[in-house]
Amino acid sequence: LVARMRPFGTTIFAEMSALAVRTGSINLGQGFPDTDGPREMLDAAARAIHDGRNQYPPGPGVPELRQALSAQQKAYWGLDYDPDGQIVVTAGATEAIAAAILALCEPGDEVVCFEPYYDSYAASIALAGAVRRPVTLRPADGRYAFDPGEFRAAFGPRTRMVLLNSPHNPTGKVFTRSELEIISNACREHDVLAVTDEVYEHQTFDGEHVPLATLPGMWERTLRISSAGKTFSCTGWKIGWASGPAPLVSALMRVKQFLTFVNAGPLQPAVAVALGLGPEYVESARLALQGKRDRLCAGLREAGFEVFTPEGTYFVTVDITPLGGTDGVEFCRSLPERCGVVGVPTQVFYDHADEGRRLVRFAFCKKDEVLDAAVTRLRTLR
Ligand code: PMP
Ligand code: GLN
């Protein structure tokens, strides 16, 4: 294995899902829903397979999906992207993030990101030979925040891009407009690019999601990444996309064509159908998820955790200190045996692991009865 990949073991998600299967535990670790997305989308995928759409689709993605993505971004966020040249379909957001970093960062270039960060960021930055400059999100008064001074200090002569995830996994933080202004000001001042991971764009409960690309001077320097997995409960389909100005999108394409070339032909028209369902589906899914957030947060509080209520995403983080926990990794490794539940220690998403030592993430994108059963088990910990 090459030196730059040696620090990376098996992802925590694979480790924790395997632990859940092995111990028969309730899996609130890896974030995937336990119900399917819209019927119309599932039917459209089956139809596309039977209609013979089973060969290589066009490199940037099937036209009807790119058109649907263009229309959707306009309708929700007022963002204009030409389906021909400013949108490309990828193997999930994961490939888009990797291809963007590989296409835009020279070895030694620096990427400013927020920790805790989604685990593929560190690996993609390392693959490119680039360097991450994490700025820590810390819980303060019930919500995660960053120190603007610390953020500005992360910029230097080698800074190439800011990699921003909002709504944010694992904290559930939705960056506010004023926080985004701090970020966009720094991007413009230092003339750096932004890559935004907005896979939870339709899963906000408090506050509103603001795409960074909508801020002044940002559209032209931002690659905006999202995915069907979360919005339409099809994380296994791995249909994602990137949108941005033509030079950034074509740079990403140059790399993407040699990573996967194209992806999942019959699933692309099906995602176009889902996008065409309009805001009713998205809104009802959001409200259902909000109910699950409230349900799990209340349950975790009853179980004795300190709970940081998430403003968006699938996830809630807790501090395990009130239950006598001092280390999230140890806590999560022993949790299946102690009470038959799996969570994810968030310290693995930090460079400064101490900052997240006592934090654990639980996913609430599960049936109510599953959440209730998990809470019943967690309550036995006291
Ligand atoms: N970014 C974040 C923040 C995520 O939580 C996920 C979830 N799996 C991804 C990217 C990857 O998305 P996809 O499954 O579409 O590759
Ligand atoms: N995004 C999901 C999570 O954070 C799953 C990621 C994965 O399995 N790679 O749990």
Partners of 57 in the beta sheet?
none
Same fold for the pair 3-36+280-381 and 39-278: no
17 lines ligand 2 (CB under 6 A): no
Residues 223-232: tens digit of each pLDDT? 999 999 999 9
CA separation for the pair 336, 28 (Å, rounded) = 11
pLDDT tops 90 at residue 358: yes
Range with the lowest mean pLDDT among 4-13, 197-206, 344-353? 4-13
Residues 63-88: tens digit of each pLDDT? 999 999 999 999 999 999 999 999 99
Q: Where are the domains of the chain?
A: 3-36+280-381, 39-278
* Residue 13 CA to ligand 2 centre (angstroms): 6
86 lines ligand 2 (CB under 6 A): no
Pocket test for ligand 1, best of 164, 230, 316 (most atoms within 8 A of CB): 230
* Residue 240 CA to ligand 1 centre (angstroms): 9
Q: Region of 2 please: left (phi>0), alpha (psi -120 to 50) or beta.
A: beta
Residues 280-333: tens digit of each pLDDT? 999 999 999 999 999 999 999 999 999 999 999 999 999 999 999 999 999 999
Q: What is the pLDDT of residue 346?
A: 96
Whether omega for the bond prior to residue 167 falls within 30 degrees of 0, making it cis, is: yes
pLDDT tops 90 at residue 159: yes
Q: What is the second-level CATH architecture of the domain 39-278?
A: 3-Layer(aba) Sandwich (3.40)
13 lines ligand 2 (CB under 6 A): yes
169 lines ligand 2 (CB under 6 A): yes
CA separation for the pair 139, 173 (Å, rounded) = 10
pTM value?
A: 0.97
Q: Give the residue among 180, 153, 147, 191 at the shortest CA–CA distance from 77.
A: 180
Pocket test for ligand 2, best of 235, 313, 317, 348 (most atoms within 8 A of CB): 235
81 contacts 135 by C-beta, under 8 angstroms: no
CA separation for the pair 64, 66 (Å, rounded) = 6
For residue 118, which ligand has an atom nearest its CA? 1
Query: What is the dotted CATH code of the domain comprising 3-36+280-381?
Result: 3.90.1150.10
Task: Fill in the DSSP letter of residue 54.
Answer: -
Indicate which atom in ligand 1 lies nearest the CA of residue 239: 15
Residue of minimum CA distance from atom 14 in ligand 1 = 92
- CB-count exposure of residue 148 (10 Å: 0-12, 13-18, 19+): middle
Task: Give the chain's radius of gyration (CA, Å).
Answer: 20
Q: What is the pLDDT of residue 245?
A: 98
For residue 267, which ligand has an atom nearest its CA? 1
Reported ipTM: the value is 0.97
* Residue 301 CA to ligand 1 centre (angstroms): 27
How big is the chain, counted in residues? Answer: 382
